[in-house]
Chain A
Amino acid sequence: MSDYRTRIAAALEGGSRFAGLHVSGGSVHSALVSPDGAIRLESATVVEGRVASIVDLTPAANWDEREAHDVYGMRFDGHEPLRPLVDHDLDLRSWTVPVRGDDPYQVAVGPIHAGVIESGHFRFHVVGDRILQLDARLFYKHRGLERAVEGRTLAEGLPYAARACAACVVTNTVAYAQACEQILGLRPTTEVARARTILLELERLWNHLNDIGQICAGVGLAAGNMRFAALTERARRLNLELTGHRFLFGSVEVGGNAVEFESAAAREELAAIRAESESAWRELLFNASFSDRLPDVGVVSRDSALALGAVGPAARASGLVEDARTTSNLLAYDGFTTIVPHRAAGDVQARLEQRALEVQQTFDVLASLLAAPVVAAACEPSGNGRTVGAIRVESPRGATLCIVESSSRRVDRLRLRTGSYANWPIVAHAAAGNLLPDFPLINKSFELCYACADR
């Protein structure tokens, strides 16, 4: 076994988890995150366009290696078949898993979906209503943001990270800013960390409220869907009032925090949203025709979640007790503890309950951090800086890895591996064995972004 594989196998054995893989400068770099949140990069030199695959050691690297092949032409020895992921102009048989047997047929959905949904294609192999296998073909929205940013200054690169996705814009820009600050030898002060944590939790709040509403939509419960849509609207109006933008665009900067706002009115509105959301949630709990649709649907076992590299609420709903917020020493999550549902069954019900629990945590964190007004502040110098910044930030959909490589204060390479990117293969896994009409519900229980997977 090559050194690279040995080191990765040892790290995984020692409790680290795979967090992303990218190509740069004639090497392949794998990010491994240890339980204390430290990120380590293990690298392999590319020889004649080839390196050893690690997909047998950690299936979570599956998409990363396929993307590295399609975008950078890398070959991975041992990754067979290496199916196309980002490449589209190819025969169906090249990117789908062959399904054989009596009566299997295919159902093709998308890239344009029936509702107001992002573009992506799902290829279901089914017998009757039963899904045998789902191949997701995304990257219809691939804009090449990671390559387009190369050569820009670190500050100019921020909008590229922002534009990847509106729903995770704070997460992606905080991760990018922190990675740049590592390069520049800066460290967020308490005040900068507090401002960013508030923004991150405001982002989580509207996302989780939206996602609970979307699960209601997934079973056709219009009353629940609209109730939570109204709450989402209130959360976005609060964002507008505090920062001038409903999605908090432009609120994160490299090197400090420029957003300022009073906190008393925000605390009051958050308390009102909390009371309303608790009442709406109680109503959902007592709606039998709704609750009956949720258990044992779209199950992801704890072992599968671990092997496939699930992150965020989806991983926690399967019983993985991990949350990048507990180890974010550059943010203000002191005393934050990971929460999992009492019944962490990894099904739609558990993922729904997980969000409801996390909304409560978010209200608590915001109530505590908004004790004082938010004021502008700069990061402070800390050490010499370096050429590679690597950061993990917990988005509403799970840990997002951002790696920035910079030798002369310009972006040589950006890798943004979002929570959605990590979790899309888990959606396909969760769908197998379920009924096709339950797929919208299963999909909504993850509620992943296409935009920040495609970039």
Chain B
Amino acid sequence: MLTLLKDLRRLRRHLDLPAPDRARSLAVRHVDAGSCNGCEHELTLAASPHYDLARFGFGVVASPRHADVLLVTGTVTTRMHAPLLAAYNAMPEPRRVVALGDCALGCGVLGLESELVGPVEDVLPVDLRVPGCPPTPDAIAAALVELVG
């Protein structure tokens, strides 16, 4: 256990990540509206030692009721339409919606028309678009930092 922690500290020193120059934070709720799991895997690594999104004050929260940002991945399937709206409606104001990845933006989507509702912007007011297939952890981190402004 100690070695694991020491290894992590060494990795952090080696990576030499810059300290953020702001004191604000954002609580993020993620909803997978019909992705291929690529965006999720990159979002997971955005919290890993090489990027450490937490140092900017970003954290994934379990409930939309605690969230400032709704981060949506994937093109919206017919079956995820209602759960996505329910998550959005549960959020307090002010709230922001981020469409993460090309599918969420409606680019190059494959599938049956009858199974898909459309890109996130057809369903919710989108504040920030993050392209990429999937967006890299640095692109995700940069976009969220931009959102804090």
A229 x B37 contact (CB < 8 A): no
Write the chain B residue with the least CB distance to A247.
B38
Bound: A246/B139 CA distance, A:
13
Complex alpha-carbon distance, A452 and B1, angstroms:
35
Q: Write out, one digit per residue, whether chain B residues 38-78 have a CB within 8 A of any chain A CB (1) or not (0).
A: 10111111011110000000001011100000000011010
The complex places the Cα of A287 from the Cα of B47 at a distance, in Å, of 23
Stretch of A159-167, A370-378, A398-406, A430-438 with 4 or more beta carbons under 8 angstroms from chain B:
A159-167
A230 CA / B10 CA spacing, docked (Å): 12
**In the assembly, what is the distance between CA of A224 and CA of B134, in Å?**
25
Q: A232 and B38: CB pair below 8 A?
A: no
* B36 interface residue per 8 A CB criterion: yes
Within 8 A of A (CB), among B1-27: 1, 3-5, 7-8, 11
A232 to B41, CA, bound (A): 10
The reply to whether the CB of A330 lies closer than 8 angstroms to some CB of chain B is no
B42's closest neighbor in chain A, by CB? A246
Which residue from B34, B37, B50, B62 sits with its C-beta under 8 Å from A449? B37
Cross-interface CB contact of B110 among A148, A169, A210, A452, cutoff 8 Å: A148
Q: Which partner residue on chain A sits nearest B37 by CB separation?
A: A451
Candidates B35, B48, B136; contact of A118 at CB < 8 Å? B35
Interface of B: prevailing SS: mixed
Interface size grouping (class) on chain A? 35 or more
Minimal beta-carbon separation of A379 from chain B (angstroms): 25
Q: How many residues of B contact A (CB 8 A)?
A: 47
Q: Is A148's CB under 8 angstroms from B112's CB?
A: yes
Closest residue on chain A to residue B28 by CB atoms: A116
Q: Which residues of B81-124 are within 8 A (CB) of A?
A: 83, 87, 110-112, 114-116
Q: Can you list 28 contacts pairing A with B, beta carbon distance less than 8 Å? A: A111-B83, A114-B62, A116-B44, A118-B37, A119-B34, A141-B32, A141-B77, A141-B79, A141-B80, A142-B77, A143-B111, A144-B116, A165-B37, A166-B41, A210-B41, A223-B1, A223-B5, A226-B8, A226-B48, A227-B4, A229-B45, A230-B8, A230-B11, A233-B137, A283-B3, A283-B7, A287-B4, A449-B37
Name 11 extra pairs, CB < 8 A, besides A233-B48, A283-B1: A112-B31, A112-B87, A140-B77, A144-B111, A144-B114, A148-B112, A166-B41, A224-B4, A227-B8, A229-B45, A246-B136
> Using a CB–CB distance below 8 Å, which chain B residues touch chain A?
1, 3-5, 7-8, 11, 30-38, 40-45, 47-50, 60, 62-64, 74-75, 77, 79-80, 83, 87, 110-112, 114-116, 133-134, 136-137
Q: Which 6 A-B pairs have the closest CB atoms?
A: A166-B38, A144-B112, A143-B111, A114-B62, A229-B48, A223-B4
